[in-house]
Amino acid sequence: MDTKERVEWLLKNYHGIKRSLDRLNFEIERFTGLSYDKVIDMLNFTTPEGERVTSNRVSDKSGRIALGYREHTEKLNNDVMGWAWQYHTQKSELDVLEYCITLLEPKLSEVITDMFINKMTWTQLCDKYHVSVAMIGKYRKKGITEICGMYDARMAVY
């Protein structure tokens, strides 16, 4: 995806990305974490007592349950790491986009903010800024072009 497509995608999906960030933040904050060693110790504390039938196969249900739980715990911990990475990636993308919008000339910044962040219709924008639909289209195109230039300059540094 080239820069222009990426910027347009970010602008069009701004609110969806914000919702995703809220969901990820909720999941990360409510996750308490589990130490699989602690879980194994808790589940593996009993040993069979008394007479029992012996066989060639060792039967230790607690141990097998504990090992299964260990795998489950590792998966949960890995999921949270994935959530944290996804949250960080999306958050930094939106932060850069919002910053680039603030760097636009004031009127252009207002139009882009109203169009994509405040979700105003083109008719509402025309009424608010007392311009034609064609002029709103020019503002949109110019705003996206300037934001793309900022993204390209940013990528040149990295």
End-to-end CA distance of the chain: 18
> Residue 124 and residue 30: Cα distance in Å, rounded?
40
Q: State residue 8's pLDDT score.
A: 96
> Residue 114 and residue 46: Cα distance in Å, rounded?
64
> Residue 70 and residue 156: Cα distance in Å, rounded?
45
pLDDT in tens, 29-50: 887 766 666 666 655 655 555 5
Q: State residue 141's pLDDT score.
A: 97
Q: Spell out the residues 6+ positions from residue 94 whose beta carbon is closer than 8 angstroms to its own.
A: 10, 14, 17, 18, 21
pTM for the whole thing? 0.72
Provide the residue ranges of all domains of the chain, joining segments of one domain with +: 3-50+59-157
pLDDT in tens, 6-27: 999 999 999 999 999 999 999 8
> For every one of its 158 residues, what pLDDT tens digit does the chain have, with 9 covering 90 and above?
899 999 999 999 999 999 999 999 998 888 776 666 666 665 565 555 556 555 545 566 777 777 777 787 788 778 888 999 999 999 999 999 999 999 999 999 999 999 999 999 999 999 999 999 999 999 999 999 999 999 998 877 76
Instruction: Let me know: does 148 contact 100? Beta carbons within 8 Å.
Output: no
Q: State residue 68's pLDDT score.
A: 76
* CATH number of the 3-50+59-157 domain: 1.20.140
Instruction: Let me know: does 114 contact 120? Beta carbons within 8 Å.
Output: yes
> Residue 112 and residue 143: Cα distance in Å, rounded?
7
Q: State residue 119's pLDDT score.
A: 95
